[in-house]
Structure 1
Amino acid sequence: MNLYRIRFQTSELQPPPYAHAIELKLELSREKIKYEFELSYLDRDQLTESEILEEGFSLDESVHLRGALGTNWVDFLQNLLKKTEKTFPTEIEESQDYWEVMHENEAFYPKNSGLWKCFVEEFHQAALEQNSLERPLEVQVWRVEPAQTTKYRFLGSFEKREFKLTANNKVVNNFDFGKLNNFLKDYYSGDFIFEKAFESTPKKAGLHVEYGDGMWFLLGEALLVKPSKIISWIESHP
């Protein structure tokens, strides 16, 4: 069996409630990755419940998940392993995160730890989706014009490593999954004027954006962001 164990812990300088540790056990085959994913938050006993809640956390966010992900994840992990340089430090700085990737009888610290952190974060999201703890991404954009309304939907799945755009329920673009983070930065970087958002079907001319909670934000009124950040994505299809 092709077994891996990945252990990660935030640096000693990371305070609670943000400090956490992750252990990921993987069984890799050609068709799938069987996994056991465990996330534990550290040193929260040093804080009061209100201090944890004030930072935007809930009181118990530790998770222990099991499942299996498909070939897209197999390919992603294999490509990451190919471009990983192994290092074997005897100690690390207190400002450094702790890493240990174990395969067979060898344990190493990956030099490209930033890419491994992205891998673990995306794997976490995929496991949450697969275990029905979070829904896949869905963002709607309606372009309301006098003659017609075009209904766009951006659909992103970490479990399947898919990111696509539909227009009036027809797929018009299958993006490279790696572009999803850029999309999220563009679509969530604006100022949201919640008192101007609404739940009813958009009718006013313009671009209306909905983020999965039923609330619509009209670009330029309820959503203040550079228009090109919204428009460039819906005009990216052939």
Structure 2
Amino acid sequence: MSSAKNSLTGLILEYDSGLVPPPYSHVFRLALDWKKGNLEVQLDLHYTEREELSEEEILDEGFTVNDDYRYQGPLDQVWINPIQELFSSSKWTSKDIEDGGISLTPQGHGKEEGVKIPSNQEEWQLMAQDLIQAIYETVKKEAPLQIHFRKVDSERAWDCSLTVHFSHRQVVFDQEGKTRNLNWEYAIQLMKLIFTPDYHYELSKEAPGNKRGMYIDCGDGYWHELGKGVVNIDPSFDAVGKIKSRLDELIES
């Protein structure tokens, strides 16, 4: 364990979406404190520049008229080690983030240090998103993400699901009533794969198919057939084929 990881007892993450237009543009401040062993968090999330949009324009994009959110309270301490590990492995840059990005203020032994700009911006933004999702689940603002899928071949059908619990950093795979926990990083990579292709909702159905194939419901109640209603966006990257392969591995393991 590095000395930096040893001395780190808290972290403040500040994010600005930069050039992203409203109603998506937002800023947040996420303060994390684990100096007493448990994890205490404070989130202040604010959507910006919405005054130039009508209420209808905001609603049409899937938002509400007030999506700002504040929270102060505990979060499962299972998140402490991943935060420390990411901080310990991060590189820092002097690059300006005026056009959007995340900055960190590490805290150790009760005092704040200087602001740091991580060069691995995407990793920290994903970490922040995961932590915010964990907060939403903890306070029951949102339910855990659940993805259902069915595989049909000439002999039978398999019905399975993946439930991602950000609140306690756990992924549960359910295969016809038998459950097991999956490695978090493996499952998150699978989630990224699942949301990579293009989903054609005009071809979706409200129930899974019974003909040979693989079907998926990404949590919204609509079933898509992989390879027909779900197609690759980038011809050089076979996301659909990789999803099929990963799901086959889960069913057979």
> Once the two structures are superposed, what CA deviation does each residue of 1:66-106 show, in whole Å capped at 9, x if it has no partner?
3322232011111123234566x6x9363253624152132
**Secondary structure of residue in 2 paired with 1:57:** coil
Q: Mean Cα displacement is larger for which, 56-65 or 27-36?
A: 27-36
Alpha carbons of structure 1 residues 105 and 172: separation in structure 2 relative to 1, 3 Å: closer
**Equivalent residue runs for 1:146-225 within 5 Å:** 146-171=154-179, 174-175=182-183, 177-200=184-207, 202-225=209-232
In the alignment, structure 1 segments of 5+ residues that lack a partner are none
Distance 1:42 1:102, change over 3 A: farther
Pairwise mapping of residues 42-81 of structure 1 onto structure 2 (< 5 A)? Answer: 42-81=48-87
After the TM superposition, which residues 97-116 of structure 1 pair with which residues of structure 2 at under 5 Å, given as runs?
97=101, 99-103=103-107, 104-114=111-121, 115-116=123-124
Alignment check: 8 A CA contact 1:9 1:99 kept: no
- 1:19-58 equivalences under 5 Å are 19-29=25-35, 31-58=37-64
**Residues 160-217 of structure 1: CA deviation (Å, up to 9, x unaligned):** 2223433222235613x22344323322233333343222464333212122233222
Give the direction of change, closer, same or farther, for the CA distance of 1:30–1:50 in structure 2 (3 Å limit): same
1:118 and 2:126 correspond: yes
Deviation string 1:126-172 (CA, Å, 9 cap, x unpaired) is 11111112111211111123432212212212112223433222235
Distance of 2:70 and 2:144 partners within structure 1: 19
2:147 alignment partner AA: V
1:10 counterpart residue number: 17
> SS of the counterpart of 1:107?
coil
Asked if the contact 1:22–1:39 (Cα under 8 Å) also holds between the matched residues in 2, the reply is: yes
Deviation at 1:30, TM superposition (A): 6.7
The total of aligned residue pairs comes to 234
Distance 1:174 1:109, change over 3 A: same
Q: In the alignment, which residue of structure 1 is the partner of 2:235?
A: none
- Residue 249 of structure 2 aligns to which amino acid in structure 1? S
Which runs of 5 or more residues in structure 2 are unaligned? 1-7, 233-237
RMSD: 2.9
Percentage of matched positions with identical amino acids: 23
Q: 1:230 aligns with which of 243, 248, 251?
A: 243
Q: Is 1:134 paired with 2:142?
A: yes
Contact 2:15 2:100 in 1 (8 A): no
Structure 1 runs, 4 residues or longer, greater than 4 Å off? none
TM-score by length of 1: 0.82
Provide TM-score, normalisation by structure 2: 0.78
Choose between structure 1 and 2: higher helix proportion. Answer: 2
